[in-house]
Structure 1
Amino acid sequence: MRTPFDDSERRVWAGSAAAYEAGFGRLCAHTVPWLLDAAGVREGTRALDVGTGAGSVAAAAGARGARVTAVDAEPDMARRTRDAVPDARVQIAALPQLPFRDGRFDATLGNFVLNHVGRPRAALAELRRVTRPGGRIAVTIWAAPPAPGQALLGRAVRAAGVQRPTHLPALAPEDDFPRTADGLTGLLRGAGLVRAGCRPLAWDHRTTPEEWWHCPAAGVATIGRIVTSRGPAATERIRRHFTALAAELTDSDGTLVLPHAALLAYGEVPGGDTEAGGGAPPGAHRGGYEAR
């Protein structure tokens, strides 16, 4: 059953694939190697990429020799991934109801997907259902409180005096969970996963003020809908505040350096050979979890 939050997310992301890929998509791609390591993705792994977006997870899993299936609720995103990753099987589907039989996959991946579902617990239960016994699940979410780079656009909105529109509902309190390592690990354990753990990720996303402003100005994601919700004059007011605040994070060469922080959680479905599927242990990529 879809919630008002789910319906809002469908509207927020409709037709946004191109703008997303050029901005926020590059940001979200930073976590992909860590995510694949945590799920043990390697040659021959039957991998499911849920909420594929611009297809960065699907492409990286395919490059490792995995047999990739990818889904997204937004047809524009699914088309883009289908074009970018022709060897992947790409379908339109959304959590918490996926069109796959029980235990279909060795590894199931959700890169910043739980941020966008109305019932995170039901979503994780569905990820467990489609993952075989002994298979691995790995997910990422943004950490709270947000890192300075992640908070930049929100600071500009607040400085401009713009409020979140009432037609953009927040997650219902009974469905929310602490965006902390303990909170996310507890969510996985509550879904029945074993050997569950969570690691913080931190990196600097390097872009330009112009590129970073493009996504919200195009109405991409919830922040984009807030930025554009009050008309051109309010959007321009937010832009002026954004420009001033971005100067705090801009290098002398004009590069905007945005510190970001996320959480990577992983666990296994009980039963079966827990070593099946192999792969590197969590944290093997780049020698750790912090890339600055």
Structure 2
Amino acid sequence: MESTAFDASERRIWAGRAKAYAGSFGKLCAHPVPRLLDAARVRDGVRVLDVGTGTGAVAAAACARGARVTGVDAEISMVELAAQAVPSAGIHLAVLPQLPFSDGLFDAVTGNFVLNHVGRPRAALAELRRVVRPGGWIAVTIWSVPTAAGQALLGRAVEAAGAVRPSHIPALAAEDDFPRTEAGLAELLTSAGLKDVVCESMQWDHHTEAEEWWGGAAEGVGAIGQTVVSQPDHTLGEIKRHFDLLSAEFAGPSGRLALPHAALLAHARR
């Protein structure tokens, strides 16, 4: 299956950014890991595939439960970092929706926010279904829409500075998109042939330093980071000025930010 313009953009966005992600937004994305593993029934002896393993947070937690863990990621710097962090897991380079595994090889498959980064989410889920055994579990997370206030902070700063998303970062094609709601994600899993689908919302406050949160964007992490770093110096300075003003809304007495976030967790059986 040919990659989409969205897929090609994702490869450029994430190239070489594993360490920058680990030091910023990666800490946020690790929050749902225990619930994700519970939803996929990951325990001692289970053969689990973690797709889009990133820096290996899910793989490490699955290994700690005694699971037999394989992880894949489309970005080589992520693969290298995860392999160092989780030496007991097998970490490989692979790009959805084509995984280098035989049908039904795994008891469980997890994907922590990976569906946000693929050009054909339905095809990606169909591939996850292919590699899990009959009766095995698939569990995934995505960011929900509308976004929570903390997740919207950087976007608000970009908008307040009059900056725009650069044209080389395409949106997901309309025919491949889906509602980022409980019903929308549940329907996506059902359309991939999965059964016993359950989807729930999660809300939490991510606690971080303002400069750490800004640092992820300033190093070009994700689409928001690429939007920030593509701006001319004057506009970049304006984004930072607005970020400093807006982030005060979330600062506690110590100055640390408490950023509200919301996501969806869905699980289903093959």
Q: What amino acid is the match of 2:125?
A: L
Relative to the length of structure 2, the TM-score reads: 0.99
Q: 1:14 and 2:15 equivalent? A: yes
Task: Spell out the pairing of 1:207-226 with structure 2 (5 A cutoff).
Answer: 207-226=208-227
Q: What amino acid is the match of 2:199?
A: C
- Aligned equivalents of 2:232, 2:40: Cα separation in 1: 43
8 Å CA contact retained: 1:217, 1:235: no
User: Cα deviations across residues 54-98 of structure 1 (Å, max 9, x unaligned)?
Assistant: 100000000000000000000000000000000000100010000
User: Cα deviations across residues 174-231 of structure 1 (Å, max 9, x unaligned)?
Assistant: 0000000000000000011110010101111000111100000001111000001122
Q: Please report how far the alpha carbon of residue 234 of structure 1 lies from its aligned counterpart in structure 2 after TM superposition.
A: 1.6
Give the match for residue 287 of structure 1.
none
Give the match for residue 117 of structure 1.
118
- Classify the secondary structure of the residue corresponding to 1:109: strand
Task: Spell out the pairing of 1:28-47 with structure 2 (5 A cutoff).
Answer: 28-47=29-48
Q: What amino acid is the match of 2:204?
A: W
- Aligned equivalents of 2:234, 2:101: Cα separation in 1: 47
- Aligned equivalents of 1:64, 1:234: Cα separation in 2: 47
Q: 1:163 and 2:141 equivalent? A: no
Give the match for residue 202 of structure 1.
203
Relative to the length of structure 1, the TM-score reads: 0.92
Unaligned runs of 5+ in 1: 270-292
Give the match for residue 269 of structure 2.
268
Task: Spell out the pairing of 1:241-252 with structure 2 (5 A cutoff).
Answer: 241-252=242-253
Identity %: 63
User: Cα deviations across residues 119-138 of structure 1 (Å, max 9, x unaligned)?
Assistant: 00000000000000000000
Tell me whether 224-233 or 38-47 shows the greater mean CA deviation: 224-233
Question: Following TM superposition, where does structure 1 have runs of at least 4 consecutive aligned residues deviating by more than 6 angstroms?
Answer: none
User: Cα deviations across residues 245-265 of structure 1 (Å, max 9, x unaligned)?
Assistant: 000010111110000000000
Q: Please report how far the alpha carbon of residue 14 of structure 1 lies from its aligned counterpart in structure 2 after TM superposition.
A: 0.3
Give the match for residue 74 of structure 2.
73
- Classify the secondary structure of the residue corresponding to 2:22: helix
Q: What amino acid is the match of 2:77?
A: D
Unaligned runs of 5+ in 2: none
- Aligned equivalents of 1:93, 1:195: Cα separation in 2: 28
- Aligned equivalents of 2:93, 2:249: Cα separation in 1: 41
- Aligned equivalents of 1:231, 1:82: Cα separation in 2: 37
Greater relative contact order, per chain length (Cα 8 Å cut-off, separation 6+): 1
- Classify the secondary structure of the residue corresponding to 2:140: strand
Q: Please report how far the alpha carbon of residue 232 of structure 1 lies from its aligned counterpart in structure 2 after TM superposition.
A: 2.4
- Aligned equivalents of 1:39, 1:21: Cα separation in 2: 24
Give the match for residue 187 of structure 2.
186
- Aligned equivalents of 1:217, 1:233: Cα separation in 2: 14
